[in-house]
Chain A
Amino acid sequence: GESVGLHLPTLSVQEGDNSIINCAYSNSASDYFIWYKQESGKGPQFIIDIRSNMDKRQGQRVTVLLNKTVKHLSLQIAATQPGDSAVYFCAVLVTGNQFYFGTGTSLTVIP
């Protein structure tokens, strides 16, 4: 199986600051990782993904870092905006067909 956990259940940042959300996983065979954003009352929305043959991937204002040695994944959001307020969670693909999800970090952006 797999155990996926996020380090902080809540995070508050000032608008314009950078946010870092962390995720730890347990299975070294994990080979695909996704970060999702979920707003209240909505389904999860894909933000960015990374495969195990990479250690960094950048999108628009977001960067995912993967450290396979310590089985750690992080999501960095640059210049955080009020619209970034949501719950963020990571998903880890282990067996090839099944994703395991972290419990989520609730990000609040203070204007």
Chain B
Amino acid sequence: NAGVTQTPKFQVLKTGQSMTLQCAQDMNHEYMSWYRQDPGMGLRLIHYSVGAGITDQGEVPNGYNVSRSTTEDFPLRLLSAAPSQTSVYFCASSYGPGNEQFFGPGTRLTVL
């Protein structure tokens, strides 16, 4: 099992550009989520999904979109990148929200 994979590992964008951060898991987990990690702050939940076709907003959803067309994939879209979105992004998955979450290696995003 590869676990949770994320691509790309690093990305630099210009303000206003759009991009998609990819996340995939091969553990047949129903629950997937996206977090951002900023210096001096804990991980903050952006969006999450409790199963294919179902998504919901977390604590900091503005500027991000998600979709969940398959159990395996949960991409995060930045519609119009802003410098405030410079962060490290982590994807996580678990059997359910009340279970151990497995995290991917992260994507380090810089918006200029």
Contact = CB atoms under 8 A, between A and B. Distances in A.
A43 B105 contact: yes
Contacts of B53: none
Interface of A: 1, 4, 31-32, 34, 36, 41-46, 49, 89, 91, 93, 96-104
Nearest to B102: A46
Contact of B104 (A43, A89, A99, A103): A43
A75 to B, nearest CB: 15
A73 B31 CA distance: 25
21 contacts: A4-B42, A42-B105, A43-B4, A43-B90, A43-B104, A44-B43, A44-B92, A49-B100, A93-B98, A96-B98, A97-B31, A97-B48, A98-B45, A98-B48, A98-B59, A98-B97, A99-B43, A100-B42, A101-B35, A101-B43, A103-B42
B103 interface: yes
B58 interface: yes
Interface string B95-112: 001101111111000000
Contact of A99 (B56, B101, B105): B101
